[in-house]
Amino acid sequence: MKANFLKYIALFGLVGVLVSCEKDEDKIFMKENPVAPVIVSVPDLKLSRDQGSETIEFVCSPVDAGFEASARYFLEVDAAGNNFASPIVVYNGVKADVISMTVSELNALLLRKFAADAVANAEFRLRAILAVDAGTGAPGTSNNPFQYISESKAVEVFAYGLPRLDLQGSGLIQKIESALGDGIYKGFVKLSTANPFTLFNPDTETVFGYSDGAIVAGGDPIVAGGDGYYNMLVDLNAGSYSLSEYKIGLIGSATPNGWDTPDTKMDYDAQNGTWYITIDLIDGFIKFRKNDGWAWNIGGSPDALTQGGSDIPVEAGNYTITLTIINDATGSVVIKKNVVQ
């Protein structure tokens, strides 16, 4: 886990000048031995549904490069012994002293990696991406940032299973879940006007539909207002539901439609919580938008996508692109070029 740290020290020497001007006192120097971030403490991760609204905290210390640095941090978890080959990002942000989230938020993320209602051995690490300016590809700039990784923390985790409603008749196997077990269910679903659907509760074997302005047992099938992905919310307590369009698309000069609408839509992997697409691209740039509009768009470094971030350069080829969205605001993306026979 110190490999990246040692590599940068060997490559750039003991002392690197990152930014300079004519006066020596204005130069910014990197520490001879920059200090990687540290996970100081991990909360009890034997999670339970009745604590779903409570806040838990990971206490950490940030990277110390010897100067006031702008860094983005990623708290990641993977199965123990997997050497973080396929980690889940549970936090992506610029604050790294105390990382907080609710039990239900963390539980939803852990379920992407670990089986429900079972104790599993896991490892956490904190990864810091450090860039000192919007440079030109030189070491330490935004196109070639430094990376520092903490020692891992081995812990046992227990993610509780969630009550669910299955969408019957939607044309796909899909569900929405209740993070707190309180009768409120939500999730991303792919709907078509040609496939009206009902909601089946496997715990009570009750089928819900929509009749007389309310979600009720035995009600009529629900009809979406259009085709595509929606963020669906069902409140059985209030007898209500809502469908909000949530269509993530790829746009840019490298895509089939260029910078024009409509974007090339991505599909959703509910198990992993990721958006994905396999697509032919040309030389150019890409970024990601929601619902064919610029009100929500992310770009920048693949490891640290941000709202309004810069366009991402790609070369011509066939790609599989996997996008992870964090808190509906930031994210990361894996852009894998496929070998076409």
Clarify whether residues 280 and 222 are in a common domain. no
Task: Answer with the one of 204, 223, 245 that is the final residue of a domain.
Answer: 245
Range of the domain at 101: 3-158
For position 151, which CATH number holds?
2.60.40.10
How many domains are there within the chain?
A: 3
**What DSSP string runs through 280-320?**
EE-SEEEEEEETTEEEEEEEEETTEEEETPPPEEE-SEEEE
User: What pLDDT is attached to residue 32?
Assistant: 66
pLDDT digits (tens, 9 = 90+) for 158-172: 999 999 999 999 999
Torsion angle (degrees, nearest 10) of CA 96, 99, 105, 106: 90
Banded model confidence at residue 145, pLDDT cuts 50, 70, 90: confident
Q: Would the pLDDT of 65 be above 90?
A: no
User: What pLDDT is attached to residue 70?
Assistant: 76
Clarify whether residues 217 and 236 are in a common domain. yes
pLDDT mean over 97-101: 96
User: What pLDDT is attached to residue 287?
Assistant: 98
Clarify whether residues 124 and 228 are in a common domain. no
Residues 275 and 249 sit within 8 Å (Cβ to Cβ): no
pLDDT mean over 132-158: 73
Clarify whether residues 136 and 225 are in a common domain. no
Clarify whether residues 230 and 270 are in a common domain. no
State how beta strands 330-337 and 248-251 pair.
unpaired
Clarify whether residues 69 and 208 are in a common domain. no
Q: Would the pLDDT of 66 be above 90?
A: no
What percentage of the chain exceeds 70 in pLDDT?
86
Nearest alpha carbon to residue 177 among 207, 199, 208: 199
Sign (positive or negative) of CA dihedral 44, 128, 148, 24: negative
pLDDT mean over 293-308: 94
Residue 252 buriedness (CB in 10 A; 0-12 / 13-18 / 19+): buried
Clarify whether residues 171 and 152 are in a common domain. no
Task: Answer with the one of 134, 158, 182 that is the final residue of a domain.
Answer: 158
- CB-CB neighbours of 231 under 10 Å: 15
pLDDT digits (tens, 9 = 90+) for 196-243: 999 999 999 999 999 999 999 999 999 999 999 999 999 999 999 999
pLDDT mean over 190-200: 98
Instruction: Give strand pairing partners of 75.
Output: 91, 126
pLDDT mean over 59-87: 90
Clarify whether residues 253 and 122 are in a common domain. no
Clarify whether residues 221 and 98 are in a common domain. no
Residue 167 CA to its chain's centroid (Å): 25
Clarify whether residues 224 and 257 are in a common domain. no
Clarify whether residues 92 and 218 are in a common domain. no
For position 271, which CATH number holds?
2.60.40
Banded model confidence at residue 22, pLDDT cuts 50, 70, 90: very low
User: What pLDDT is attached to residue 146?
Assistant: 85
Clarify whether residues 219 and 283 are in a common domain. no
User: What pLDDT is attached to residue 19?
Assistant: 39
In the block, tokens 């369009």 appear at 245
Task: Answer with the one of 115, 139, 158 that is the final residue of a domain.
Answer: 158
